[in-house]
Amino acid sequence: MTNPVTVITGTRKGIGKYLAEHYVAKGHTVIGCSRGDIDWQLSNYEHFMLDVSDEKNVKRLFSTIRKKYGRVDNLINNAGIASMNHSLLTPASTVQKVLSTNVLGTFLFCREAAKLMKKTKYGRMVNFTTIAVPLKLEGEAAYVASKAGVKSLTEVLSREYAEYHITVNAIGPVPIETDLIRAVPKDKIQNLLDRQAIHRFGMFDDVSNVIDFYLKPESSFITGQTLYLGGV
Amino acid sequence: MSDKLINLIIETANELNEEEEVSITSELNKDTPLFGEKGILDSMGLVSLVVAVEQAIEESMGVSISLADEKALSQKNSPFKTIGTLAEYSEGLISEDSND
């Protein structure tokens, strides 16, 4: 088998950047994207600058991938934004932004990737939800609603794409020390960690371990699942 | 233009038939019913054809269109009725795109 072609969204920093490095190291050809430019380079990595919720640009990205690589084996929808505020203090524009990036972005990438994957009758998609969904975390209404949307999307798409031999699964990480949670007060994070079965922050390799499993060709019978880290 | 699109749709449908994504047993022409009464495609077959025609149009004409937009799905006279109506509908979207 030639190098797997893996698309990862939100690779400028944090988990996305780590996953790009992780899968390049595993011999994948990685195509990444983010709204801003990156200040790092990798061999076998190509970067595109786009907003994941911009339908035209997402279509253009996949058309470029089709011409250049001819296929996509794996899609990791990592790009996401959070908004941590009481709902009474959350403006509509914030809700729209969060839903746009997290739900619409995931939807568009799944849809366009599926069009390529159905030709090869093979594909692995991994979406990002969060433990904040089952924990019904206060102060994150927009974020939690968007990630519940991603979970449902994962479940429905797993059924729609099954006949093309594409699996669609999700991972629900616990807090990981990245920019996403930097602004959250320490006691809030501690409360959250206390509600996990294992009371520690998640690490990048906790995330890649789950994704490695979903991406394995042998995981062809695993679809529509959400795996929460930390025992939530 | 429309003849070119009709041929493109017929070629695309035949390719899908070879790839066993759809099952077509008759010769195709512009009056062949696609979907609905006497249509040759089931709903998943229609999905496959729509996606493949979008890709073929992009490849041969460099225009990216979405055939299954809200307009198409809400039209009384479905653009997916026959190969001819699909070609006509595609033609409209292609010229809209070039007027952008």
Which positions in chain A touch B55 (Cβ < 8 Å)?
66, 115
Whole-number Å distance between alpha carbons of A211 and A203: 13
Whole-number Å distance between alpha carbons of A189 and A88: 21
How much is the ipTM here?
0.84
Whole-number Å distance between alpha carbons of A204 and A157: 26
Predicted confidence at residue A160, as pLDDT, reads 97
- Decide if A63 and B51 are in contact by the 8 Å CB cutoff: no
Q: Best residue in B44, B55, B96 to probe A by mutation, most A CBs within 10 Å? A: B55
DSSP A192-211: HHHTSSS-S-B-HHHHHHHH
Tell me the residues of chain B between 64 and 93 that have a Cβ less than 8 Å away from chain A: 64
Predicted confidence at residue A133, as pLDDT, reads 97
Read off the CATH number of the domain in which B86 is found: 1.10.1200
Span B49-74, pLDDT tens digits? 999 999 999 999 999 999 987 777 77
Whether residue A118 lies within 8 A of chain B, CB to CB, comes out as yes
Instruction: Judge contact between A129 and A151, C-beta under 8 A.
Output: yes
The fraction of chain B above a pLDDT of 90, given in percent, is: 64
Who's near A117: CB < 8 A, 6+ residues apart?
A71, A72, A73, A123, A161, A164, A166
Q: Is the pLDDT of residue B98 over 80?
A: no
Which positions in chain B touch A118 (Cβ < 8 Å)?
48, 51
Q: Which residue range is the domain that position B6 belongs to?
A: 2-99
pTM of the predicted protein model: 0.93
Q: Which residue range is the domain that position A113 belongs to?
A: 5-231
Q: Is the pLDDT of residue B1 over 70?
A: no
Domains in chain B, number: 1
At A199, the amino acid letter reads H
Q: Is the pLDDT of residue B100 over 70?
A: no
Span B68-92, pLDDT tens digits? 877 777 767 889 999 999 999 999 9
**Angstrom distances, CA of residue B4 to CA of A67, B14, B29, B95:** 23, 15, 12, 14
Whole-number Å distance between alpha carbons of B58 and B51: 11
Predicted confidence at residue A1, as pLDDT, reads 58
Whether residue A111 lies within 8 A of chain B, CB to CB, comes out as no
Instruction: Judge contact between B39 and B78, C-beta under 8 A.
Output: no
Instruction: Judge contact between A29 and A47, C-beta under 8 A.
Output: no
Read off the CATH number of the domain in which A199 is found: 3.40.50.720
Whole-number Å distance between alpha carbons of B28 and A25: 49
Residue listed under structure tokens 């990630």: A147
Instruction: Judge contact between B16 and B22, C-beta under 8 A.
Output: yes
Give me the residues of chain A with pLDDT under 50, please: none
Whole-number Å distance between alpha carbons of A209 and A74: 15
What count of CB pairs under 8 Å joins A to B? 11
- And the tokens for A184? 């959250």
Whether residue A59 lies within 8 A of chain B, CB to CB, comes out as yes
Whole-number Å distance between alpha carbons of A162 and A207: 24
